[in-house]
Amino acid sequence: SDIDTALAISLIADSSGGTNVLKNRSQVVIDTFNGDDQLGTFDVEGLTKDLRLALRLAAAEGRSLKIAQTVEPIYGQAINDGLGKFDGASLSVKAAK
């Protein structure tokens, strides 16, 4: 849509649906979208571990987490692509491409 990345992230972060995490980490997300993947404080490997734990718990309780099931392969592929130690914002860029 040719909207500047920083403007788009700012609009989302400052909207009524904006999360505190995005507000606090908006520069990391902007930098990542601009091609500067960086080592993360909460990296893709950590996110993947937690996602898989949630999926196992849900399965054990007979529940389905459809969105989590849908995105889990993206997380796994990101690790295979060498993004495991990078910030979780790298997944946003990977999903957007």
Neighbours of 89 (CB within 10 A): 25
Helix or strand (DSSP H, E) at 83: none
For 32-66, how does the pLDDT look when each residue is reduced to its tens digit (9 = 90+)?
777 776 666 678 899 999 999 999 999 999 999 99
* pTM as predicted: 0.63
| pLDDT interval class at 67 (50, 70, 90) | very high
pLDDT for the residue numbered 93:
61
DSSP string over 49-74: HHHHHHHHHHHHTT---HHHHHHHHH
Q: Average model confidence (pLDDT) for the chain?
A: 84
- Residues 27 and 5: their CA atoms lie apart, in Å, by 10
The torsion defined by the Cα of 97, 39, 52 and 92, in degrees rounded to 10, comes to -20
